[in-house]
Amino acid sequence: MRAVGYQKSLPIDDPSSLQDIELPDPTPGPHDLLVEVAAVSVNPVDTKVRMRAEPESGWKVLGFDAAGTVRAVGEQVTLFKPGDAVFHAGDITRQGTNAELHLVDERIAGPAPASLSTAEAAALPLTSITAWEILFDRFRIPEGGGDGDLLVLGGAGGVGSMLIQLAKTLTGLRVIATASRPESGQWCRDLGADAVVDHSQPLGPQLDALDSAPRYVAALTASDRHLPTIAEVIRPQGEICMIDDPDQLDVTPLKRKSISFHWELMFTRPMFQTDDMIAQHRLLGRVAELVDQGRIRSTMMRELGPIDAATLREAHRQQESGRSVGKTVLAGFPS
């Protein structure tokens, strides 16, 4: 099968940072789906793994989002059959989705939204899972409930885009997103944010003007830089959830307000084969239903071209710029 992989952690401008390769077709394990990949999207984790996780031998294939069709199933699979359209975000401990064929445990795959193209569907899984787990697993907000304000730091990114939509659709929270450019601010409003503030300017006065002391803060990017400000603006006994990877993090300033602190990593369930691993299958099914009902939408912002090394290098380059809005998708393999 055709795939895109790397052997050394290199800057994305180096042609060897991602290369077109041929690999043997994978064979499904007991709970696996063998998915024929039609489209993939790129997330910050792709660029982080490329630069931090050099394979000891052989090729590492990246990619943590895909939409495609089930070609074969393992002997213990009960949720899907060959021919089913699926979308999924994969498992960070296995080979990724930047390949013609991909193995994924059925318990972390969902039925693809019927109303979307494969490209539009491929934009959704990783960010939907992350946003869902922030709201309902980390913050433990009940569906249809919740009170107070949710501050989404980095609202125009992939996770922020889904978090805004899910919070407005499924909770009673007021959603305040941060964005530093007119186009990213408008993107957040279009997705349903009740208000947008500029994270390149002091947040305190802007939140005061909205009469807001957020009960919940989703810190999605540059968390170490924003933490002192978060500690100032969050309401006493509030909650923070982070997803990024700061080199150092001093949470001492959170003590005086008795702030609860959470990490969110959507790979935890598959990585540790947790008893509730199937929760990701179920939530992806709910996301597909919400999309097909017209209550939320795909966050695909651009389709760059086919799944090959040159196009993926450009997608990584755009992701590393820190100015991405929504999701970048690649669809199909070169003929």
Confidence of residue 322 (pLDDT cuts 50, 70, 90): confident
Strands 85-88 and 66-73: antiparallel
Q: What is the 3-state secondary structure (H, E, C) of 278-315?
A: CHHHHHHHHHHHHHHCCCCCCCEEEEEECCCHHHHHHH
Is residue 39 one of the residues assigned to a domain?
yes
- pLDDT value at 324 more than 90: no
| Residue where one domain finishes, among candidates 212, 237, 263 | 263
Q: Determine phi and psi for 317, rounding to 5 degrees.
A: -60, -45
Residues 177 and 219 in one domain: yes
Is residue 98 one of the residues assigned to a domain?
yes
Confidence of residue 38 (pLDDT cuts 50, 70, 90): very high
Is residue 146 one of the residues assigned to a domain?
yes
Q: 181-194 pLDDT, tens per residue?
A: 999 999 999 999 99
User: Are 177 and 193 a contacting pair, CB within 8 Å?
Assistant: yes
Position 67 scores a pLDDT of 98
The enclosing domain of 325 has a CATH number of: 3.90.180.10
Position 164 scores a pLDDT of 98
Residues 176 and 205 in one domain: yes
Of 191, 199, 195, which Cα lies nearest the Cα of 162?
191
Residues 61 and 80 in one domain: yes
Mean of all residue pLDDT scores within the chain: 96
Tell me which residue range forms the domain holding 320.
2-124+274-331
- Outline where 27-98 has alpha helix (H): 44-52
Residues 132 and 253 in one domain: yes
Residues 50 and 86 in one domain: yes
Domain count for the chain? 2
Is residue 205 one of the residues assigned to a domain?
yes
Confidence of residue 285 (pLDDT cuts 50, 70, 90): very high
Is residue 76 one of the residues assigned to a domain?
yes
- Outline where the chain has alpha helix (H): 44-52, 118-122, 125-132, 158-170, 182-190, 203-209, 223-233, 268-272, 279-292, 309-320
The enclosing domain of 194 has a CATH number of: 3.40.50.720
- pLDDT value at 177 more than 90: yes
| Residue where one domain finishes, among candidates 263, 297, 323 | 263
Residues 159 and 183 in one domain: yes
Angle at 264 between CA 56 and CA 159, to 5 degrees: 95
Residues 155 and 247 in one domain: yes
Residues 114 and 175 in one domain: no
Residues 251 and 295 in one domain: no
Residues 301 and 238 in one domain: no
pTM of the model as a whole: 0.96
Is residue 11 one of the residues assigned to a domain?
yes
| Residue where one domain finishes, among candidates 235, 263, 291 | 263
Confidence of residue 230 (pLDDT cuts 50, 70, 90): very high
Is residue 269 one of the residues assigned to a domain?
no
Position 323 scores a pLDDT of 79
Position 281 scores a pLDDT of 98
Helix (H) or strand (E) holding 242: strand 239-242
- pLDDT value at 88 more than 90: yes
Is residue 268 one of the residues assigned to a domain?
no
Q: Once rounded to an integer, what is the mean pLDDT over residues 27-36?
A: 98
Residues 100 and 142 in one domain: no
Residues 259 and 279 in one domain: no
